[in-house]
Structure 1
Amino acid sequence: MAHFSMQFGRTEHGKIYKERPSVYGLCARNDEKIALVKVGDATRFHYDLPGGGVESGESDAEAVVREFDEETGLTVWPVRQLNRAGQFWINDGVPTNSLSVFFEVELTATEGSPIEPDHELVWVPVEEALKKVRHDAHSWAILSWLRERTINLRGRR
């Protein structure tokens, strides 16, 4: 099993948490906004980075490309792996520990629409995205990406 340096969320006493390999992508547009998916309906919804579970026999990179297409209709290419983190949560009533790999992805095509009917692509300013995403692991991944970009930009001056 791969090393996961951070673990987020809380467990509830007496519940057994199923480990779920997952991937999520961070896609920036003009370094000002990032892609999120708004999941739900008009009255009950949440925001996530695009991504989800890794299917059997699928690499993490293949999974992030597939998940991005299914959830946003966008075609992306994984540029690099950013980090890994676990997130305890209740997924449709099932106690889950999403063992997530986060990728920086590059937008390669914008045609298409989400396959999943309750998912809507939204472009959100980075600072706003940090507050909107429902999982602490997603916020941490965005913050890590932002800090790294800021440090790299300073080094180029």
Structure 2
Amino acid sequence: MLQFGAPDPSTDYRFRPTAFGLLLRDGLLACVRVDRGEGSYFDLPGGAVDGDETEPQAVVREFVEETGLTVRPLERIAEAAQYFRKSTGEPLNNAGGFWTAELVSQDPAAKVEADHELVWLEPSVALASLRHEAHAWAVTALLRQNA
């Protein structure tokens, strides 16, 4: 698995299985702006795989929680890991798949993460704006697949 990020050798990074979605609509990529005041950032919709969930199930759940969009995962096009620290300071190594997805429905009332805002970005803007190198790499894989 491709590994991104530069870990601090004196820090223990908890391994966390994850799954993220890549949804294009009218040439724009679904992203989330996570409000952390001056430390706000952009991510792909997705996150931790909970319990016995599969990656596709996690993508569906995370999209609803973060954006209010219901999606259908289609194809796992990339796999990568990313060392980083959460906003809380917890050191993690997110590792898992990146899935293409299609939009099924939209229900803004289903969104439960108040600090996440759905934004549609030009893929080139997303490449420059996403917090994680692994996410930008997955967007590049998507663009190459669609070329």
Question: Which TM-score applies when normalising by structure 2?
Answer: 0.95
Shift of 1:44: 3.0
Which residue in the other structure is 1:154 paired with?
none
Equivalences for 1:1-150 in 2 at 5 Å? 4=1, 6-30=2-26, 32-91=27-86, 92-113=88-109, 114-150=111-147
- 1:38 match: secondary structure: strand
- 2:21 match: secondary structure: strand
Structure with max Cα Rg: 1
Percent identity reads 40
Which structure 1 segments of 5+ residues have no match?
151-157
- Aligned length, in residue pairs: 145
- 1:143 match: secondary structure: helix
Q: d(CA) in 1 for partners of 2:129 and 2:136?
A: 8
Which structure 2 segments of 5+ residues have no match?
none
